[in-house]
Amino acid sequence: MNRRDFGKLFALSLTGAATGVIGAPSVLKASSKRVLVIGGGFGGATAARYVKKFDPSIDVTLVEPKTTFHTCPFSNWVIGGIKDMKEIGHSFKPMSDVHNVNVIHDVVTEIDPMKNVAKTKGGQTLAYDRAIVSPGVDFKWDAVEGYDMEASKVMPHAYHAGPQTELLRDQLHSMKKGGVVILHAPPNPFRCPPGPYERASLIAHYLKKNNPTGKVIILDEKEKFSKQALFQQGWAKLYGDLIEWRSGSSGGSVTRVDTKSMSLETEFGMEKGDVINFIPPQHAGKVARDSGLTNDSGWCPINQQTFESTIHANIHVIGDACIAGKMPKSGFAASSQAKIAALAVTDLMNGRSTQPPSLANTCYSLIGEKYAISVAAVYKLSPKGIVGIKGAGGLTPMDASEQQLSAEALYAVGWYDSLSKDIWG
Ligand SMILES: Cc1cc2nc3c(=O)[nH]c(=O)nc-3n(C[C@H](O)[C@H](O)[C@H](O)COP(=O)(O)OP(=O)(O)OC[C@H]3O[C@@H](n4cnc5c(N)ncnc54)[C@H](O)[C@@H]3O)c2cc1C
In this prediction, residue 31 carries a pLDDT of 57
For residues 222, 228, 234, 237, the Cα torsion angle rounded to the nearest 10 degrees is 80
Distance 136 CA to ligand 1 centre (A): 5
The answer on 60 and 156 residing in a single domain is no
Ligand 1 neighbour 39 (Cβ under 6 A): yes
How many domains does the structure of the chain reveal? 2
The answer on 259 and 148 residing in a single domain is yes
The answer on 297 and 268 residing in a single domain is no
252-287 pLDDT per residue, tens: 999 999 999 999 999 999 999 999 999 999 999 999
Instruction: Report if residue 181 sits inside a domain.
Output: yes
Q: Would you place residue 290 in the very low, low, confident or very high pLDDT band (cuts 50, 70, 90)?
A: very high
The answer on 134 and 175 residing in a single domain is no
Q: Is residue 3's pLDDT more than 90? A: no
The answer on 133 and 167 residing in a single domain is no
Instruction: Report if residue 101 sits inside a domain.
Output: no
The answer on 204 and 274 residing in a single domain is yes
- The phi-psi region of residue 404 (left if phi > 0; otherwise alpha if psi is between -120 and 50; otherwise beta) is alpha
- In eight-state DSSP terms, residue 103 is E
135-146 pLDDT per residue, tens: 999 999 989 999
Q: Is residue 29's pLDDT more than 70? A: no
Q: Cβ distance 88 to 75 under 8 Å?
A: yes
Distance 142 CA to ligand 1 centre (A): 22
Q: At which of 282, 313, 345 does a domain end?
A: 282
The answer on 298 and 215 residing in a single domain is no
Nearest CA to ligand 1 atom 34: 39
Distance 169 CA to ligand 1 centre (A): 19
Query: What is the CATH classification number for the domain harbouring 271?
Result: 3.50.50.60
Instruction: Report if residue 334 sits inside a domain.
Output: yes
The answer on 171 and 158 residing in a single domain is yes
Where is pLDDT greater, at 29 or 170?
A: 170
Instruction: Report if residue 394 sits inside a domain.
Output: no
Give the domain extent around 38: 30-65+106-140+283-355
The answer on 324 and 297 residing in a single domain is yes
Cα distances (Å, whole numbers) of residue 322 to 38, 131, 327, 371, 378: 14, 14, 10, 32, 18
- Rounded mean pLDDT, 147-164: 98
40-70 pLDDT per residue, tens: 999 999 999 999 999 999 999 999 999 999 9
Stated pTM of the model: 0.93
Instruction: Report if residue 275 sits inside a domain.
Output: yes
Distance 331 CA to ligand 1 centre (A): 6
Instruction: Report if residue 425 sits inside a domain.
Output: no
Q: Cβ distance 155 to 143 under 8 Å?
A: no
Q: Cβ distance 199 to 79 under 8 Å?
A: yes
Residue 113, preceding peptide bond in cis (omega within 30° of 0)? no
Q: Is residue 250's pLDDT more than 80? A: yes
For a mutational test of ligand 1's pocket, the pick from 36, 111, 159, 192, i.e. the residue with the most ligand atoms closer than 8 A to its C-beta, is: 192
Q: Helix 331-349 crosses helix 42-54 at what angle (to 10 degrees)?
A: 30
The answer on 177 and 135 residing in a single domain is no
Distance 346 CA to ligand 1 centre (A): 24
Helix and strand counts by DSSP (H, E) for the chain? 10, 23
Instruction: Report if residue 290 sits inside a domain.
Output: yes
H or E segment to which residue 31 belongs: none
Nearest CA to ligand 1 atom 8: 73
Q: At which of 300, 323, 355 does a domain end?
A: 355
Instruction: Report if residue 424 sits inside a domain.
Output: no
The answer on 297 and 188 residing in a single domain is no
Q: At which of 241, 267, 282 does a domain end?
A: 282
The answer on 111 and 164 residing in a single domain is no
Q: Mean pLDDT for the chain?
A: 93
Ligand 1 neighbour 38 (Cβ under 6 A): yes
